[in-house]
Amino acid sequence: MADRIIVTGLVIHARHGMLDHEAKIGQRFVVDLELSVDLSNSSRGDLLADTVSYSDVVATATTAFKNSSYKLLECAAGAVADAILAQYPLIRALKVTVHKPHAPIPAIFERVGITLTRSRHS
């Protein structure tokens, strides 16, 4: 299926990372979501009940991302994916990308991050 809902550039302050100061002070992360949803009914009927509320998905993702302090971005992204799939049965699959613009790496870079893909079939 090619139908997608996308959320890009969701900025969340959280306390994830391997270093003590990352868990204590926290930092800014940027989250992108790509949700695979059948939008055929909502594209014809114009009813919110036939789709997924972007606002609700953002709230769910933010809560899941901030709920715990994780050492790995993979774990934080997994919590987001699990929460979204649990809350929204219309979502068949999703990609969660977490960018860490201020990762403690001795190099000049724009950001580092991870992307994970989950579906109800995996």
- Catalytic residue check, 24: no
- Compute the distance between CA of residue 111 and CA of residue 104 in angstroms, rounded to an integer: 11
Q: Across the chain, where does the E strand assignment appear?
A: 4-14, 27-37, 91-100, 112-119
| Mean pLDDT, the chain cut into blocks of 10 residues (122 residues total) | 92 93 92 96 90 96 96 97 97 97 91 94 62
pLDDT of residue 48: 87
Full-model pTM: 0.92
* pLDDT on residue 58: 98
What pLDDT shows up at residue 1?
Answer: 54
CATH number for position 26: 3.30.1130.10
The residue annotated as part of the active site, out of 24, 71, 95, 100, is 100
Q: What's the pLDDT at 82? A: 97
Number of domains in the chain: 1
